Amino acid sequence: MTTESPRDRSGHPALLGGAPTFGEPLFVARSRIPSWDRLGARFQAVVESRRLTNNGPLVQELEAALRARLGTGFCIATANGTIGLQLALRALALEGEVITTPFTFPATVHAIEWNGLEPVFCDIDPETYNLSPELVAARVTDRTSAVLPVHVFGNPCDIKGFGELAASRSLRVLYDAAHAFGVETAGQSVLEAGDLSVLSFHATKLFHSAEGGAVVGSSEEYRRANALLRNFGIVNEEEVSGVGLNAKLSELHAALGLELLPLMDDEIARRATVASRYTESLGGLEGVRFQKFAPTTKRNYAYFTIEIDESTFGLSRDELHRALRLDNIVTRKYFYPLASQNSSYRGLPSSHPESVPNATRVAERVLCLPIYGELSAGDADAVAATIVALARDPDQVRSALSVLEA
């Protein structure tokens, strides 16, 4: 989207009397939409067929297309990523404690709790924002049955290290791959790692089906378990086995996914351009750091984050967030508050900020900037220019904010 600004896009912030950089709000994400000609025809065919759900032909077609695209042994499409995590944890037949990250969307932890398992939070690496096998190893007890790492913002976890830890301590590994569509590390899809991975196809995601998700993996045992769990545990007309859910994707959602899938290379390439404009413009700015990706990572640019060090940037992350809003740049503070600070989990010993110091610090500093395929390079430059302009006179920005918010 190219949103023409009323005036100067070079960065005279609205807070300091300039015209807003953007005439309308520029959000952190914007769903990619396929051409209506094609999508409308798909929808019409679905509706006319009267086959709207229950593992219909389009869901099966989407699963096959995703298997081919992502290189996974199986793909069980689900109604959303959260329910995918619930199914996957159940399929792994776990007990006791599951170690996970506090620097994630609440869904990761809720899925553990919904399964009657105990979440144990582990601190993250301060540069990658991911769990590391070393930090997790120190939290493993006799009661630990699994690790649930998240490839945060599409940054691959140390899958080799987690594989070794799992083998040495007899643990299962389930990856929350909600952000990791198409991500590879050293030539290998991150979705091949661990026992299972779960993707989210929410509208805010790189690849989406409005709502949706998938459990992926390679073991036939887990494929069968997840397929049963997704559909009430129904084996056939005569037999229902286990405590299943209704976690099915509808045909209309699958139609949307099928039309979007061929656009993903283009979407990722466009986002890469946005990311490189941000990196170029903000890389030299004092007090701004980027999430660290290994050079061997094939990124998907699902998110673009900056980390603000108030002591050198001059403004806190929250002040920058509020000032940008006046320029119609709507950034997000993912993942603040930490998932461990939810009232249901706050009382756990592992939730204490002293137990997860890196996550606590990162959550107070990280800001997600707008990134999506329709964002033009010029728009990305204007976002960056506004940040640069705000950093020029932090004292003036802070006092203008306090006057405005008084």
Q: Which residues bind ligand T4K (CB under 6 A)?
A: 27-31, 80-82, 104-105, 107-108, 150, 176, 178-179, 200, 202-204, 213, 334
Element (H, E) at 176: strand 172-176
Q: Which is nearer to ligand T4K, 9 or 202 (CB)?
A: 202
Token pair in block for residue 158: 């140390």
- The distance from CA 147 to its chain's CA centroid, rounded to whole angstroms, is 18
Q: Which is nearer to ligand T4K, 88 or 400 (CB)?
A: 88
Q: Which is nearer to ligand T4K, 157 or 397 (CB)?
A: 157
Contact (Cβ atoms closer than 8 angstroms) between residue 166 and residue 190? no
Q: Which is nearer to ligand T4K, 331 or 397 (CB)?
A: 331
> Cα separation of 369 and 301, whole Å?
11
**Cβ of residue 398: shortest distance to ligand T4K, in angstroms?**
26
**Cβ of residue 135: shortest distance to ligand T4K, in angstroms?**
18
**Cβ of residue 103: shortest distance to ligand T4K, in angstroms?**
9
- Residue of this chain nearest to ligand T4K (CB atom): 81
Q: Which is nearer to ligand T4K, 77 or 389 (CB)?
A: 77
φ/ψ bin of 207: left (φ > 0), alpha (ψ from -120 to 50), beta (otherwise): beta
**Cβ of residue 251: shortest distance to ligand T4K, in angstroms?**
18
Q: Which is nearer to ligand T4K, 82 or 297 (CB)?
A: 82
Q: Which is nearer to ligand T4K, 108 or 155 (CB)?
A: 108
**Cβ of residue 15: shortest distance to ligand T4K, in angstroms?**
21
Contact (Cβ atoms closer than 8 angstroms) between residue 268 and residue 294? no
Strand positions, DSSP E, 58-150:
74-78, 97-100, 118-121, 144-148
Say what the alpha-carbon torsion angle 150, 152, 153, 159 is, to the nearest 10 degrees: -70
Q: Which is nearer to ligand T4K, 136 or 150 (CB)?
A: 150
Sheet holding 304-308, edge to edge: 288-290, 304-308, 366-369
State phi, psi for 178 to the nearest 5 degrees: -55, -30
**Cβ of residue 200: shortest distance to ligand T4K, in angstroms?**
3
Output b/e per residue, 13-23; b: 16+ Cβ within 10 A. Answer: bbbeebebbbe
Other C-beta atoms closer than 10 Å to the C-beta of 280 total: 12
Q: What is the DSSP letter of 150?
A: B
